Amino acid sequence: MISTKKITFIALAVAINIVGSKIALFAHLPIFLDSIGTMLAGIALGPVAGGLTALIGGLINGALGDIYAIYFSLSGVLMGVIAGLIMHGKKNTIPSILWKTLVITLPASALSACIETFLFGGITSAAVTTFIIQALSTTALKLFGGAFVTQAVTDYIDKLVAILLVVVSIKHLPYEFTHFDEKSSQHSDRLPDKV
């Protein structure tokens, strides 16, 4: 059952994604910063929340003018689901974060490379990434290989930053804000009998 607290948390995560993506876009960063909220929702709430956060964030970013975000939200959904599956409710140490980030990013990077190659000819909303893909496309890697290598590297760095921020934040935020077990949520949702 989804509670008001969980819906609010997902909305906050979506807002974090949107703000992060706008910062990266306007600052012309080589990473995207559009998945911090996705990782937060996936790690705190699980795979459905992670995927839903990425999808909603991508659609809103698309409506705000970044048309690429709509298509790339599919890889965000994949990352959110995988993050939720392998990190939600698990002990996440620094060594495990390093390999879990790789597990999260590689399938999504392959999907992003397909989107870049077959839908957009190697063009993305990030100028630096587009330049690298176009440069690599003239090598033996060709367009898809260049897109995959570029996505794998940038996605890994981007998601590693996001996951580290989330794991550190969760450790420092109040327990009730980031943990949604049924007993505590039923207790917090219950109104007192008398005012």
pLDDT tens track, the chain, 195 positions: 678 999 999 999 999 999 998 898 788 777 788 999 999 999 999 999 999 999 999 999 899 988 888 999 999 999 999 999 999 999 999 999 999 999 999 999 999 999 989 998 888 777 778 888 888 988 989 999 999 999 999 999 999 999 999 999 998 888 888 777 655 444 444 333 343
Q: Which domains are seen in the chain, by residue range?
A: 4-179 (1.10.1760.20)
| Torsion of Cα atoms, 114 then 116 then 120 then 124, to 10° | 170
**What is the rounded CA–CA span in Å between residue 59 and residue 21?**
12
Question: Which CA distances in Å does 36 have to 96, 141, 146, 164, 182?
Answer: 18, 30, 25, 9, 25
